[in-house]
Structure 1
Amino acid sequence: MEKIVSKEFESYREAIKANLPSHSRDFECVDLYFDPSGGEYGNGDLRLVDSGNLDEPIYSTSSGHGIKRSDIDKYHAKTFARIMFLDRVSKALTHDDVASYFARIIRLAHNDVRIHQKPDRIEIIYHSLQLMARSSIFTVSPDLMKFVVIKDHVNFEDVKVSIFERTVTYYSKNSDAHVVNRGGVVGALFYGPAFSHSTKLYVAAFGASINSIVTIVDLLSDEDKSIAFRLSRRLLDIPLSKGKAYEDVLNELLAFIFSNCYEEVEMHVQVPNEERLRVRDIVIDNRDPENNFLNLLKDNGVHYLLMDAKNYKGLLRVRDVDTFIGYIGENKKFGGFGIILSRKGASKTLKKQLVKKLAQGIEIVVLDEADVLDMIDLRALDRDPMSVIKDKLKQLHFQQ
């Protein structure tokens, strides 16, 4: 078993380091080792090794067909580079990052979710409903479920675990016990849409810009990119202040994001009023939604979702939304609700103004670029993208 240099693997490593300069050392100590007569079949053993520790490789592979030194660049370099990246993600994630990530996923399926902070752990508690047949009738029995994140400074072996905790799942970063650990995170993120659409988690791990993360994911993903990822890439590539290009991409993005919210998305763009003096950027028919949050909006009088696109270089100011507020007041079918899609988000002054508007029955949610990318990821993973709007609206209400 000897250390080898793969030209392709090194090109991936250099690209990752260029996009994550403050973490370059983390990637420099990872290397490839190869034994042409090693492995389960005795015809090739390729390992991804951290700091020369051959006994505990990050990843290793062998094949019944054999692994040749000349095959590594073509067939293995990208896979090993992706695993190296994800291993460093799992290493950089704190227990708070992991708890936030799983709490968010659990909240998409369960309403009653509580989080308890304890000295050695973070407990995410929720209920799973089961139908139980008793005396020829069905009753609902709520099962208490827990996802427990053991804090990074605590050894899982020191944690007291009851044999009766059948509905408890534990995460412990570096444990070798039968729990979710760093390796489990790498495995969960490696395949399919999970790798391409967990960008928010990668941003949390490295504190990097979304552009840098998407560049890395683009490089390490399979060549056949998903529609969702291509849309994300197009959004990030649009220069600021290019209004028409931004609106065109948003039309495609919104059709994708809302595609599991209606039987058919009925979206209208550049909609004028009767006098043709005002033109609304985007209107989505919300009279027959198949999404709980959108149903709630409809019950509150939001029959049509009014949206405005702002590709400004800076934060939105109060005067930038005056016209949009006028649009909302023109038509009762908008239900006093509107969404502004702004690359840079809202200024502090505008945020305060939007809180004041609540007293007038006007609710405006401002989604920045990160919010839109988050919604794309959620839709790509078949989760609920409307949870982003729901959370932003809740934050707005709590400030009143």
Structure 2
Amino acid sequence: MPQLEPVRLLVPEAFSKHVSRRAFLSGATALGATALLAACAPGTSGGGSSAGLNIYTWGEYDDPDVIKAFTTKDGTAITIDSYGSNPEMIAKLSASKGTSGYDICVPTHSAIQQMVTAGLLAELDHSKLPNMKNLTPAVLDTAFDPGNVYSVCKDWGSTGFVYDTSIIQRELTSWADFWDAAANEASGSFSLLEDQGEVSFAYFLANGIPMNTDDEADIAAYREFILGMAQHVQAFESYVSTTVAQDGRALAHCWNGDARLGILNNADPDKYKWVWPAEGGNLWQDNWAIVKGAPNEEAAYAFIDYILDPEVSLKELTYVGYNTGIEGIEEAATEAGVDRPDLIFISDEIMSKLEYSEMKDTDEEVIAIYNELKAAAGQ
């Protein structure tokens, strides 16, 4: 067996404030003495060294035991560097112009075509990914990457919210309810996702406006509304699991898997209630992709194919709380007794109301409005 190199986790300073309790209790601990948890200040250029495998992904987004098992099996050193948003990831890869040192990145579906146009992603050789056969048709040959030329499903989910039933003592079922509670019972104790698009979707859907609208009148109405909400916002965050686990919000806008983690880690798991909003929401898919110019391309293929093994995928699902798109994964999770499957697997009724977000000409306006919102909220 080859001598193993350390698994390194590089966590951006901005993310370190949001690392959930699991990252320390089961993440770093599971990696044992081989792990090095280091701070990586914003602005640091490039990825890891050219040796081993360098992965650029969302924070705490893979089971450390899975990472360690691959390292043991393959003898490949792994460095994981984290980001908090697609724009952050794209900006860093664009600045490096193919010399970032990263091998794998994990873009959300809506970022794929932008990255392809910018020349940031390598075309995939499917012959090196035989386990793609395990994926369900629903996550293959999608509109955002026909033929999976550049990406392979990592996992997928949707967006909703959780609320503290000891503070908000009425039933919330919709985005309209979310905004009403944010301005009332949860004022000063509610958070919005650190995602410009998701915040706008929550407004549009609450008001009967198509989620992917590019109508200037809709954008103007959104701006007027959301800036009026600034006084009520406590925080903007991508990772609500820690704050929900510690009773830190009365109301939190969040992704289903992160909500699940926060609820399960709360001392009173029945205190918070998750809502799939009645109006629908964003159907997002995060994807494995190989960075153009990857110095360790073969290791990247080996890792992605390893993750697509059904047994490995079940471990990933159990850890991150998102559907991995593997055929039969729901049945496998049920048999394994995975906690709160209702926060992982989406019913046909809810699915009928979800849609993929799209890139639009008004995206820059939406981003500018979000920046105005954060400034008005004092953040």
TM-score by length of 1: 0.23
TM-score by length of 2: 0.23
Larger radius of gyration: 1
- Of structures 1 and 2, the one with the larger relative CO (CA 8 A, separation 6+) is 2
